Amino acid sequence: MTLSLYIHYPFCLKKCRYCAFNSVSDAPCSPDEYLAGLLTELEQRCEMPEKGSAAGTLYFGGGTPSLLEPSQVARIIEAAAKYYALAADAEITLECNPGAVTSGKLAAFRAAGVNRLSLGVQSFDDEFLAVLGRAHSAAETMGAFRTAREAGFDNIGIDLIHSLPGQSLAQWQRELSQACDLNPEHLSVYGLSIEEGTPFALLEEKGALLLPDEEESACMYELAAKVLAAHGYEQYEIANFARPGFRSRHNSGYWLRRSYLGFGAGAHSFLRRPEAGLRFSNTEKVEDYLALVGRGCLPTVESRNLTREEAMAECLFLGLRLTEGVSLEHFREEFSLSIQEAFGAACADLFAGGLLEMRDGFVRLTGKARILSNQVFVRFI
């Protein structure tokens, strides 16, 4: 059984105006103090993985983990190898802010064992970057991408956001074409979502955010799928596209309900044990996290065993995010009943409405349902 590991680094150069992630720009501790907390937790939890598990992926997310020094990243990789049997061919991803790296640092990350970069590009337009409150420019993105290639990274993913305030379809098309010009191995494409408690939510409340409407937003999504397919990218998940052989192994584990352990303030974990699964999460506040691990306690604040019904629902609303869908055979093997037996009424409605289809032993979203996926998922909850 393969295990995935996630390391949360909750510090950023500045807080983006749309961001609701667990991240702060004014760190209450030094990077070394936070690193010490992470190393302690990595050692504390090593009793927990399933028997015989080995880590197949390690993902540094945030926040802005590229603010870590390469030597600090190396120490975490060493700890993952020591306590979780990190595989020799493990996918090791680092989320990277284009404004927070230098050529020396990128080369040192590569030497430390990082073999995949996820570059938080979001837009190639300086005006949109300013609107979003990002701490980098389009020129820095181009520089970071080129430098990452020179440093030996042959697996680079970039993130883009569409449906930005005032964005037209033509502007989005330009973004896509600039992204394709860089020729990354992987692209994640998200529509801007307005999250409670962010500066964008306040602006929206005041009617000061000119967002594309639902129809325009759907057109942007469809355009992305079309343009990226024309450039040889396979859409393997609602928002993710990859060259053959370059799907994110780490994120695929989330959609397939594989076990993962998250370390750091606010990190979430999931273990396929007991039967239906256990979900737990760490305290979000950095000070509380450090205090707990410093006292030798696990920083877990919430923990819940799933019911069989919840596990079945998760299997569908996570698995249906994947283009290939959910294997009928695997569902039956895991839960001893068919998807139709478990969700008869919902399935009948969704098949009749043309939102779900069954093919080659899989149930999957239809093309039109990808834009309406939340309407589908809610039927299984």
Measured between alpha carbons, how far is 61 from 73 in angstroms, rounded to an integer? 12
Q: Cα 320 vs. chain centroid, distance in angstroms? A: 16
Judged by beta carbon, residue 13 or residue 225, the one nearer ligand SF4 is 13
Residue 157 binds ligand SF4 (CB under 6 A): no
16 binds ligand SF4 (CB under 6 A): yes
Dihedral sign for Cα atoms in the order 49, 54, 56, 61? positive
Among 11-19, 103-111, 161-169, 282-290, which window interacts with ligand SF4 (CB under 6 A)?
A: 11-19
| Total length of the chain | 381
Side-chain-side CA neighbours of residue 373 (13 Å)? 19
User: For residue 221, what are its two tokens?
Assistant: 């999504």
Q: Does 63 bind ligand SF4 (CB under 6 A)?
A: yes
Contacts of 147 (CB under 8 A, 6+ apart): 101, 102, 103, 106
CB of 170 to ligand SF4, least distance (A): 25
* 23 is a site residue for ligand SF4 (CB under 6 A): yes
Binding ligand SF4 by CB under 6 A: which of 37, 49, 62, 277?
62
Query: Based on CB atoms, which residue is closest to ligand SF4, 189 or 369?
Result: 189
Percent of the chain as helix, strand, coil, to the nearest 5: 45, 20, 35
Q: Return the number of the residue (59 or 233) whose C-beta is nearest ligand SF4.
A: 59
Closest to ligand SF4 by CB, 134 vs 258, is: 134
Of residues 53 and 122, the one with the C-beta less far from ligand SF4: 122
Query: Applying CB under 6 A, does 15 fall inside the site for ligand SF4?
Result: yes
Site string for ligand SF4, 109-138 (x = CB under 6 A): -----------x------------------
94 binds ligand SF4 (CB under 6 A): no
CB of 12 or CB of 316, closer to ligand SF4 = 12
Q: Half-sphere exposure of residue 253, counting CA atoms within 13 Å on the CB side?
A: 22
Which one, 21 or 351, has the nearer CB to ligand SF4?
A: 21
Sign of CA dihedral 202, 8, 91, 108: positive
DSSP 132-191: HT-S--HHHHHHHHHHHHHTT---EEEEEEES-TT--HHHHHHHHHHHHHH--SEEEEEE
* Residue choice 3, 5, 19, 76 for contact with ligand SF4 (CB under 6 A): 19
Considering only residues 4, 40, 64, 282, which one is a binding residue for ligand SF4 as defined by CB under 6 A? 64
Binding piece for ligand SF4, criterion CB under 6 A, among 57-65, 288-296, 319-327, 341-349: 57-65
From candidates 3, 7, 12, 129, binder to ligand SF4 by CB under 6 A: 12
CB 43 within 8 A of CB 293: no
| Span from 9-17, 68-76, 278-286, 362-370 in contact with ligand SF4 (CB under 6 A) | 9-17
Which residues are CB-contacts of 94 (< 8 A; sequence separation ≥ 6)? 60, 65, 66, 73, 109, 114, 116, 117, 118
Helix 286-294 to helix 31-44 angle, to the nearest 10 degrees? 50
15 versus 243: smaller Cβ distance to ligand SF4: 15
Beta strand 278-282 with 300-305 is antiparallel
Closest approach of ligand SF4 to the CB of residue 22, in Å: 8
Tell me which residues touch ligand SF4 (CB under 6 A): 12, 15-16, 19, 21, 23, 62-64, 97, 120
